[in-house]
A and B are shown apart, each in its own frame.
Chain A
Amino acid sequence: MPSHDTSARDLAPEELAALRADFPILTRTVRNGNPLVYLDSGATSHKPVAVLDAERDFYTRLNSAVHRGAHQLSEEGTEAYEDARARIGRFVGAPAQEIVFTKNATESLNLAAYAFSNAPLGSRLRLGPGDEVLITEMEHHANLVPWQELCRRTGATLRWVPVTDEGRLDLDALPALLTERTKVFAFTHASNVLGTVNPVRRLADAGHAVGATVVLDACQSVPHLPVDVADLGVDLLAFSGHKMLGPMGIGVLWGRSGLLEEMPAFLTGGSMIETVRMEGSTYAAPPQRFEAGVPVAAQAVGLAAAVDYLERIGMDRVTAHEHALTERLLAGLAERSWVRVVGPTDLEDRGGTVAFVVEGVHAHDVGQVLDDSGVAVRVGHHCAWPLHRRFGIAATTRATLAVYTTPDEIDTMLTALDRVPEVFGLAS
């Protein structure tokens, strides 16, 4: 079981070079024949050959609709699918039956949110007027809009924890916001803009103290930090496959067994039923209850291969590597007086997501200049529009790191960034 080890070694240059050889896309060139410098892994990560091979192997040898049919392919496909569930569960410290496969983390969070309006009247999960849902101002739209919609459907009230100027949750405001009216407390583990890593255990305990169900968006933590659901103490946790070296089209919702049992079906149809009659139907136990339609078996097998890949490196070392790169990036940006980082500038409780503004130049233009040198970053509000509004900015430029990012790539980005004042005629 992974645990945080602050003494973990960073990746040595030869280790990093060998690892990068597993990612074919990293060898391609982009705009103007430049080598690709990919600093957009927070949007989606690249996938190693082992993941591509695992997916291809499923289609080559095992392709079948799993959990259906008595033929051998279906049997073997089902075994591969369920084995993947167990491996992915182990990666986050959870038993297989607590792992629900979805299309992506957005679906995972919608599945969670709908439980609180689809639950039968009288269920403790069912929200109504007078109840409150607490989120934070730093949420990705995926952990914000579904809760707004839940409140609209049920008459519950949405509240949010404000963010400080330093880009941390304003925990002084928490006691007034988290009350016996709070039925759901949903927040992110790591901000996809600020890089802030939130004190999950403390927040989860506070949520439980008032009887709230605690939901964690772990999209930006599971790919970068050792994550153990028991340590975190939350009730539901969502993450996506494609941000953690896995395939697109698969996400995960982990839920405590007792809670998943209580939760009503979300998407309905084939696979998720127990019995169906014309008059009505009953539904399967979790996790199948939440997996309507032909399961995403090839993607699950691919994601399990991604998990194996990360475990071979060791999540402590992934964290140590990205920590060193973040330090290099923050130091480089600090040397440039015309750059302002939005989010913590210290390394404490902070991941490798660094958003910044160049005073007087729109992020779109910054990104375009970087792209001209082959440097891929994200520009815009990164699906966290209210957070940008809170900082009074329309858009930021965001660099996000991954296990395959190199120190040289950070330096290339910083050098490319120096073209921005030249192109836009700023006094630097």
Chain B
Amino acid sequence: MDLYQELILEHSKRPRRAGLREPFDAEVHHVNPTCGDEVTLRIRLAGDVVEDVSYDSLGCSISIASASILAEQVTGRPLTEALRTTESMRAMLTSKGADPGDEDIVGDGVALAGVAKYPARVKCALLGWMAFTDALNQAGAEIPKESHV
């Protein structure tokens, strides 16, 4: 099954940077009401840099892998880069398969490109990224208008 790339299974079994850590500037809790998947996500900002993303994810392999990839891709990055990655993931996941993803921007996120062909699973893959954007908003980070997830 092309959906379950080795990289996805690897991230879902050993999620990177998992667990909730302190200190944090914002904590959000997002759920996927259709299946009950949940993610609690915290962010810590240091000026314009995402210093830490920590999370507790309860869900399918796709949602856990996606949260793991998120934490790996945005931690230690300037806010503008993190937002570009988020926007790129969103575009790929909602492209119905037309956008294969840019590995230079989303890293391991390209392994989730196959999810776009399964509409019922797109929300699973987006859950962590939506929580991340929400957490940034709650932390009062300045998000340019054109980038929203």
Contact = CB atoms under 8 A, between A and B. Distances in A.
B40 interface: no
Contact of B36 (A368, A369, A388, A423): A388
A381 B35 contact: yes
Contacts of B61: 361-362, 364-365, 424
Interface in B1-26: 1, 3-4, 9, 13
Interface string A76-111: 000000000000000000000000000000000000
Contacts of B4: 365, 368, 423-424
B143 interface: no
A421 to B, nearest CB: 13
A166 interface: no
A394 B1 contact: no
Nearest to A419: B1
Contacts of A394: 35-38, 58-59
B35 A379 contact: yes
A369 B121 CA distance: 13
A381 B118 contact: no
A385 interface: yes
A424 B9 CA distance: 7
Contacts of A231: none
A362 B59 contact: yes
B124 interface: yes
Nearest to A423: B4
A53 interface: no
B62 interface: yes
B91 interface: no
A381 B9 contact: no
Interface string A394-428: 11000000000000000000000000000111000
Interface of A: 361-365, 368-369, 372, 379-381, 385, 388, 394-395, 423-425
A368 B118 contact: yes
Interface string B30-72: 0000111110000000000000000000111110000000000
Contacts of B59: 362, 364, 394
Interface residues of B, number: 18
Counting chain A CB atoms within 10 Å of each CB, the highest count among B3, B35, B61 belongs to B35
A160 B28 CA distance: 30
A-B interface, 5 closest residue pairs, ranked by CB to CB distance from nearest: A364-B60, A362-B60, A380-B35, A381-B36, A394-B36
A363 B60 contact: yes
A424 B121 CA distance: 17
A380 B118 contact: no
B140 to A, nearest CB: 32
A62 to B, nearest CB: 38
Contacts of A425: 9, 13
Given A364-B121, A365-B62, A423-B1, 19 more contacts: A362-B37, A362-B61, A363-B35, A363-B60, A364-B35, A364-B60, A364-B61, A364-B124, A365-B60, A365-B61, A368-B1, A368-B3, A368-B4, A368-B118, A394-B35, A394-B59, A423-B4, A424-B9, A425-B9
Nearest to B34: A380
A48 B58 CA distance: 40
Contacts of B34: 380
A363 B36 CA distance: 11
A424 B4 CA distance: 9
Contacts of B58: 394
B54 to A, nearest CB: 20
A365 B61 CA distance: 7
Contact of B62 (A364, A385, A395): A364
8 contacts: A361-B61, A362-B60, A364-B35, A381-B35, A388-B36, A394-B37, A423-B1, A424-B61
Nearest to A389: B36
Contacts of A372: 1
Contacts of B60: 362-365, 395
B1 A364 contact: no
A395 B9 contact: no
Contacts of A369: 1
Nearest to B4: A423
B66 to A, nearest CB: 12
Contacts of A363: 35, 60
Contacts of B3: 368
Counting chain B CB atoms within 10 Å of each CB, the highest count among A363, A368, A385, A425 belongs to A368
B128 to A, nearest CB: 15
A395 B31 CA distance: 13
B4 to A, nearest CB: 6
Nearest to B58: A394
Contacts of A381: 35-36
Nearest to B2: A372
B96 to A, nearest CB: 16
A362 B121 CA distance: 13
A364 B37 contact: yes
Contacts of A388: 36
A365 B9 CA distance: 11
Contact of B35 (A395, A423, A424): A395
A423 B6 CA distance: 10
Given A365-B61, A424-B61, A395 B1 contact: no
Contacts of B13: 425
A190 B51 CA distance: 51
